[in-house]
Structure 1
Amino acid sequence: MIEAENVTLHYGGSQILHGVSLSAEPGKVTCVMGNNGVGKTSLMNLLAGRHPRSGGELRLMGERLGRVTAQEMARRGVGYVPQGRAIFPMLSVRENLETGFGCLPRGARRVPDEIFDSFPVLAEMAHRRGGDLSGGQQQQLAIARALVIRPKVLIMDEPTEGIQPNIIAQIGRVIASLRDAGEMAVVLVEQYFDFAWDLGDSFALMERGEVVMQGTPGTLGRDQMHARLANLAA
């Protein structure tokens, strides 16, 4: 479980997050939604240790965290799939996957077979350079690289962005499988409403650095949630 309570975040003199609270539990997908520029990626960077919070509390598996780095969060079991994938184009697929080994004890430094079961194309292209893969294949590689560390929390920022429908469906099946295994908390930032709604166990809708609507599908209602998003986009 990862929990943020009343967190704030600044970039220089600009405040980006204003008292945001969010929790993600094992066996559930927590979806963060909202238009571009409302602070979703900034919140993910904070949760992953890529940018220090200005205030509030961050807890991982019940432990209150001080100032942490991205590397420390990865060692603690937080996997991150950034927006834009951020793979290493000159490294092979296997070498990209092996970049996660630095967060693991020496005896655990291997790529789990389940990753290739989930993304067979990566096994087929293990020796191809990451930059030679299609956008959808690169997204699969970015997700697989995060899974190499056997995360307790998986943060995914816009995994369907610019991806063809068949790969979106495959990514959805992988997320559902990870959720149903019951051991991993998934935090999903997503603009594609139907994809998020089908997977999400809880939702947080952001606007201008704040969570303005939060709850489960049962308490929010599909039409109400969709209408609120449409109004924000208008």
Structure 2
Amino acid sequence: MTAKAGEVTAVMGTNGVGKTSLLRAISGRHPYAGGTVMVGGTALDHPSPFGAARAGIAYVPQGREVFPMMTVAENLETGFACLPKDQHHVPDQIFDLFPVLHDMIDRRGGDLSGGQQQQLAIARALITKPRVLLLDEPTEGIQPNIIQQIGKVIRILCEQGDMAIVLVEQFFDFAFDLGSDFYVMSRGEVVFNKREDVLTREELYAQVLV
């Protein structure tokens, strides 16, 4: 699988086919027996989560993993860990993308709604200035207006052209609207791959349901 900067690479398939395991392996959270993870032509030899983050891979997990007792500001600051000290600040762009986080900067993460926590989790990942952003089910349990906001943020990040986004998503229409390159998995393997310009909605839908 190849994910290009400035694009959304959508990984799809039914439950249990290995989509989350794939993202966890890429991000250093899950061991893998074969294959190579490469960022910008540089191979990462079974990296730790910290090593993957230092290499430019940011992971927004299913379930968000926001620190509930820490404030929004403190949650964002955990993204500093893989950055040099002179970059330990929250860029203005974070609050441009997610204005609600500025309004709730002193609120505890556990007091935020599910949609607000999802925005916080994505913002925290962006703090690390990733070259690759891995998103695992970002719309799960989120109200429709927040889903629209997250979709808008993903489009803005793509337009900037310096980040590859890998999206695992069960919400078919969300993934189809955003994706440039589509991969379908079954039993731990990629069984289908086509780009948006030669793919119809009906063809992808049929593959996902197999």
TM-score, normalised by the number of residues in structure 2: 0.98
Q: CA RMSD in A?
A: 0.8
**In structure 2, what is the Cα distance between the partners aligned to 1:89 and 1:224?**
42
**In structure 2, what is the Cα distance between the partners aligned to 1:86 and 1:125?**
18
Quote the residue 1:4 is aligned against: none
Greater percentage in strand: 1
Gaps of 5+ in 2: none
**In structure 2, what is the Cα distance between the partners aligned to 1:115 and 1:145?**
9
Secondary structure of the residue aligned to 2:2 is strand
Q: Give the one of 118, 133, 142 matched to 2:112.
A: 133
After superposition, residues 118-197 of structure 1 pair within 5 angstroms as 118-197=97-176
> Is the 1:52–1:68 Cα contact (8 Å) retained in structure 2?
no
Secondary structure of the residue aligned to 1:55 is coil
1:60 deviates by 1.1
1:66 deviates by 1.2
Cα distance per residue 1:181-219 (max 9 Å; x no partner): 100000000111111111100000011111111110222
Secondary structure of the residue aligned to 2:120 is helix
**In structure 2, what is the Cα distance between the partners aligned to 1:148 and 1:184?**
13
1:222 deviates by 1.3
Cα distance per residue 1:69-126 (max 9 Å; x no partner): 0101111111110000000000000000000111100000111110111111100000
Which consecutive aligned stretches of 4+ in structure 1 deviate over 4 angstroms post-superposition?
Answer: none
The structure with higher relative contact order (CA 8 Å, sep 6+) is 2
1:57 aligns with 2:39: no
**In structure 1, what is the Cα distance between the partners aligned to 2:83 and 2:36?**
26
Gaps of 5+ in 1: 1-21
- What is the number of residues matched between the two proteins? 210
**In structure 1, what is the Cα distance between the partners aligned to 2:40 and 2:108?**
36
